[in-house]
Structures are given as C-alpha cells and as structure tokens.
Structure 1
Amino acid sequence: MDSHRVWIWIRNIAIGLVIAAFVAVFGQPSGSTPSGAVAEVNGELIPRDVFEFFRDLTASRSREVLPPNLDPAEARKLIDSQTMNNLIYRYIQAQEAEALGLRVSDEELAQELAANPDFQPDGRFDPQIFERSWRRAGFESERSYTEEHRRDLLIRKFRRLISSPVRISDAQVREMLLRERLRVRLRYGLARAREFRDRVEISAEDARRFASEQPERLDNAYQAQLGQYQQPEQVRVRHILLTGEDALAQADAARVRLTQGEDFGALARELSQDAATRQEGGDLGFFPRGRMLAAFEEAAFALGPGGLSQPVETERGAHLILLEERRAGVDKQLEEVSEELARQLLRDERAQAAARAAAEEMLARLGGGGDFDAVAAELGLTSEETVPFGPLDFTIPGIGRVPGLKEAALTLEPERPHADRVFSDGDSFYVISLLERDEPDPGTLDNEMALAREQLESQARGRVLNQWAESRRKRLQQAGKLVQFPLYPAN
C-alpha cells in the first residue's frame, strides 16, 4: 500500500470517528426553532445565544479601539450594533451560498473540527472537551454551536466563488508596512481657552448689548444651567432607623442618649437598621420635598438646623432625625440672570478667540524661525512633548483625539517639522512640531511581505463582500424580510 493510499485510509477512519462522535454526542439535527431570537433574516432566525457569542468576541476586539472614557452604555450600543450588522451580513452570505447550490457536508464539518487543536488534546477529537467549549461559549445547544461552524465553512466557499481576484502589488504592500510601522514624537504648544478667561474683561454695556442681540443663545444657556437657577428647598439630615415591635421604645431610649450628649453619627453606626446609611452615620444627604415617606419628610422639613426630632413612625419603623443643613430654594428667572449669563457667554467666546489668536501667533513665529519653548512661554502657551505614536494608535497620549492632528503629525518631516495650521478640539488649541520620526528600514520588511499581502487581499475581498451584503440587506428591508427584535426588555 503506497503512502498516499495509507494517508487516505487514516483520514477516512479519523473522519468516521469524528462523525460517529458527533452523532453520539449531538444526535441528529432537529428542526426546532431556537428559544430566543434577536433578528429574522429572510425567514431565518438569528438565535440569541449566537448573538451573545459574537457580541463577546466583538467586545474583546473593541477594547483597544473604543475610547477609554466612553460611557459604558454608549460602548454597549456600539458593540451591539456592530455585532448585529456583522451577523446579518453573515446570514445573508450563507443564505446566498445555499441558493447557489453550495453545501457543507457532515464529513467536511467533521474534518474542520477534527483539525481544531482546541478539541484534540492528544491528537484525537474529544467530545467532552468539545461540549465544555460550546457551554463555556454560552451556546444553548451543541447544534447551535456546530451550525455556526458549518455556516463558517459555507461562507468561505461563497467568498471564494464570488470574490473577484484581488491583486496587490509589492509597492502597495511595502507602503502599508512602512505606514503601519512609522512612529513619530511631537512637541506641542497648548492654548486652553479656560486659562485665558481671567484675562478677558466684559463691561456692563457689552453684556447688555449681547443680551439684546443674542436672546436665543441666552435662553439656551439658561436652559442648560436650569438646575443652578431653579432649585427647590432642600434639607440634609441624618437618621437612625429602629425596627421591631418595640421600635418606638428603642427610639425613645436612643433619643435620651442623644440628649445626654452622645454623637448622632456614632449612635447611628451602632443602632440603625438602615444598612444603606448606617456606616455613613445615617447621612441621607440633601433631598427636596417629594422624595421621602410623607411622615419622615414632614418631620425633617419642620426641624431647624441642629434640631433633633421626636421618634417618627413610618412603614419602615421608627426614626430619629437630625437636621444638619438647610438650603433655601432658588427661583431665578431668565430676566434676573440675563446679564450674568451674557457675561459668561461673552467671556467664554472671547477667551476662546484669545486662545486661538495666541496659537496662531505662535505658529507664525515658528514659521519665522522662533524657538518653540521660548515663543510658547512668551505667549502663555503650555509646551509639552508626546511619547512616540503611530497610525494604529487610536489616541495620542497626552493629547487624545483632536480632529486632523494625528493625520497631520504623521506627514511631518525633519525638513519641515512644523504643521501649517492650528488644531482644536473646541476648548483647546494645538501647535505641533516634529521631534522624532522613526521609519522602518524597507530592507527589513521582506519577511513580512507575504502575511501583509494576505491581509490586504483579505481586506479588499471583505470590502467587496460587504458592499454586496449591504445591497442585499437593503433589498430585504424593502421587502419586509429583515426584522430586528429588541435586544433588551423594555423598562
């Protein structure tokens, strides 16, 4: 028996064992509908467990891309949206593949999984390890997990079939590698508008003129700061909550101890049954009317500063209340604060203009050969340096994301180190100058060419496929065959 026939014989035995193991562990495919779904694509449901699996993958890949200070709720929306779009494209491609007659046999699926080292610690497929894998991944069933593997293979066939040949030249590959490996370091001058505010003088006449000429801006500012001008009366109290059949008797005894000079906070930590405030000495912070139980609120607002209530009964038990502080209500109408707001808006506007002017002046002096640090100091700008960064960095350390700044920085050369314009994120203005530019040696890139070419070709094919899938998606939406279900229960 020659080596080729031996290999075929071994392969067939291995595949047979894997298929047998699948049937033993998973059983025959059933036609049951998944218990939950997040979308329906052309009559096919996307199960929730599939969505959650891919959402976890998307989230893990997004950690290095999303801004670190992004609100968690916003981050979740972005990740959910990206996951849903990718899954819809995925199902559309698989459906189109089947419509073209493409199929993935059980043998092909078994061979794919048999080649996965995660499922074969000793070189053979292990059903128990496979089961742990799909359970750990959060799938509701073995079938759901294996069908996603089958869908992967089907989509690969489809992509090979419809993707037009992509040719990437050596020059394109080298350009990508050189661009991605580039590192630059900057010196930058920073003019913050808030640091120019104290230098701006606003006369009463200027404020009145602004108020009369800009009523809409004034009203918008008033509405944005309404909490400062419209506030109800508030009190800050501490309380001790006592519960049980003898709660009132406990409260009377505790009140005696307080009148004899014991500290309210210390006694609250000792006696109070309110777990939420006990360790804070019973401190409830400030609150307006309408937030607390009626009897408690009435007693609290009736006290004077430093006043101690008699025991107050509510549905929670008996309370002793100490008034720490009272804030009078505020009710200032726009007419009363219009000049104050006008001064504020004018000062912000002029401070921003002054900061921009200082940055523009610095840029002009640098163009005339001025020393960076000396010019910055003379004009009142902060002079700082960055650490090295490159095109793949999402933000510039120390600067963050400023529109156009990173792109301009990467084009600077030692022969022309200064950018030709000022960059701004709204409140701050940046003048940048190149300190270092570190480019890789083209001669060292040969070993990376093949992998880089594969990445570029894959990206190009992906763009073609996504354009096709988006076109198909729009047609399904127009035909009413694409439905997305709520991801989370309504509040």
Structure 2
Amino acid sequence: MRLVLALLLAVASFATAQAQSLLQPVDRIVAVVDEDVILRSELDMALANVLAQFAGREAQLPPREILERQVLERLVVTRLQLERANASGIRVSDAELEQAIQSIAAQNRMTPAQLRTQLAADGLSYEEFRTQLRDEIAIQRLQQRVAQSRVTVSETEIDMALAAQGDGGMIYRLANILVALPEAPTPEQLQLAQTKVNGIKQLIDRGEMDFAAAAIRYSDSPNALEGGDLGWRGLDEIPVLFANVIREMKPGQTSDPIRGPSGYQLIHLAEVREQGRQTITEYRARHLMVRITELVSPEQAQRKIEQLHARLLAGEDFATLAREHSDDLSTRVQGGDMGWFAPGAWGTAVTQQVEMLQDGQLSQPFRTEAGWHLLLREGSREQDVTEANRRNQAREVIARRKSEEEIERFIRQLRSEAFVELRLGT
C-alpha cells in the first residue's frame, strides 16, 4: 500500500480547493472521458494535492498551464482505469476497505480513529477518503490482473538475466525523463520530440537545472512529479537497450537521449552499490505435537505433552516417542524429523522456539492454535543463499519489469481507444 503519511499531508489543501469551488456559480467540465466527465472542482482538488506535496518547492513545478494539463491527464487515465475495472467486475468490499484503512493507520502509527481525526483536521471528509482509497485499490487490482494474464518468467530468462549482470549483482539508483511519442509518430512529431529532449539534456549539462527539477517540469512519464525517480534496480530489471548504456555510466551522469518504445528517454544514474553475500542460519530439529480437537481438550493435550516431556527428560528417545504419539502427520513417520529449514518455514511459533534453543536442547512444551508442541533442536548451520536469492530476485524483477511494460502498454491502449475531449482552454 503506497498511501502513507504523505497522503495525509497532501490532502491538507483540499479544504481550500473546495472553498474556492463553492465561489463558482457553475462547476464547469474540463474533460469528457467516454460517457463520463471531469469537473473543474475535481481538477482543482488534484492540483491542491500536488501543490501541498511541493509546499516550499513550488519553483520546481512547471508553469501552471502545463501542470494543469499533466494533472488532468492523470485524472483521465485514472477515470479510464476505473471504468475498465468496473466493467471487469472488480469490486472492493467494505470489509476489504476497512482492512486497508487499518493498514494505512498502522503505517502512520495511528489508530483508525486518529486517522479519521487527522483527515478532518486537514479538510478531507472521511467518506471522500474512503472513495479515493477504494478507487486506488480497484486500479491496483486491475493492473495486477493485466500483469498476471500477460506476464510469465522462464528459467531461461533468469539464466540470461544473471549472465547479463556479470557484476555479481550491482544495483543502480536511477531516474528518467520521458519525451513521449505516439504509436506511429509522424516525421514532424519525431523532430519536435528530438528537439525537446536535446534541449532538456543541454539544460542539465549546463547546470541550469538538476535532473529531478527537469523531470518535474518536462517529463511525460507518470513519475514526473517524483523527479523521475525509478528507485534501486539491477540490470536484470532494466530493458537491455537501457542496461547497456547504464553499465558504461558513472554516478552523477545523465545519458544521451535514447529512443525507446514510449518515446525518447534520458536516464540519470544517481548511485551504484554492490549487493554483498547473503547468509541465513538454518536449523535441524525434531517435532512432536499433541493436537487439540473436539475430542481432545486443550487441558488434556497439555497433560499429555507434559508427560511426554518428562519421559524425554528421563532419557527416552525423541524419534521413538514422535512415531508413537505425535499428531504431526508430516513428520511422524520420520520420527519427528523436520530436516534443515530456514527461519519462518514452519511458522512464527516454531521459529521463536528453535532460535531460543542450543543444539541438542529440548524445548519446554508450548502451545499454538493447532495444539501443544515439543521441539528438539539437533543442529544449526550458516547457509549461503546468495545464488538462490539472486535467482528469486531476478525472477521478481523480470516479472516487475514486464508488468510495468504491460501495464504501460495497457494504459496507452485504453487512452488511444477512448473518446477524450480536453476543455482546459474553454
């Protein structure tokens, strides 16, 4: 969930925008989106959000008319995605919405009641907040559905990505500026885009504007108002066209314009760092459980586990007792042997117990929802999981890169197929 404290700060200007809209006798239409419309008051509210986020840094924003067009385009794309989500049967229940609100409150170290109070103090009604959050969740689910239906990652792709890294897993902090082009640009559109991107590059090279400020002012990418920030990425999650350029760059450098599928890009390399070797402590243990059932009460299960615990302390063999008495069917035949496992593999309760023990030590009886348990920790070892993690990370980043590309393609398709009429100038 990306809604954190910044969301609460961003809505601080809502009251002002709403008050201004009340002074207008008629709330005019600024965009027609298929059979729906976007009103001036909605645009003013969204602009107020942006201005609140850039309080004290307003000089970084583009001129008002350009900012309005950027924000209006975001509203159009949002509206189109909501229409598609609704047509696809995506619904966000009240229970799911409440769970999301609780999560946001927890991230901001608040209770839901305190969050509601904060929203009111910032001038945003709780119902308006719920509506916005419901819309965001619906859009996220639509995008997830698009990605899941279109994206697969093969083992061959992972092998190729790791081979292409060739650097042991260096990661790069990147930002971008996009000068967008339509699907089939005319020579005039190509020339105009080239002139624009070259002009932006010259501004950056001469030091007249830093990269983040240039991205905010000129980029057509959805992350423009974040200064073009792309975060930390490995070369395996960057399209090959850009990865080959980035590999030759030094921190602080900005690439020459690169023609990509969406238009001309400028890539800025902020930092580079190496991912070190990664190890975890693995454990080997034996497990014995007395399950709580309708026929076995918690008290009965506890008495039995305590009797078994006493027998083990008296010297009886754990494996033998596990085979005879354990209700854990996954380990019973093996005498309770759980094999080597990483923390968390058998749940939080088991992890907490096994980490407290020494090799060869027997636990005290402990209870979970399933029943009463005993653990015998037989061994521990440090396991190098760098390669396994690299493969898992490569799988994740390839999937994320492909998802981003598919979602971007999906949004462009939505936009091109929709009837959209912008009326900012009227």
Q: TM-score range by the shorter chain?
A: 0.3 to 0.5
Q: Which protein, 1 or 2, shows the higher relative CO under an 8 Å CA cutoff with sep ≥ 6?
A: 1
Which structure's CA Rg is the greater one? 1
TM-score (norm 1): 0.32
TM-score, L = length of structure 2: 0.36
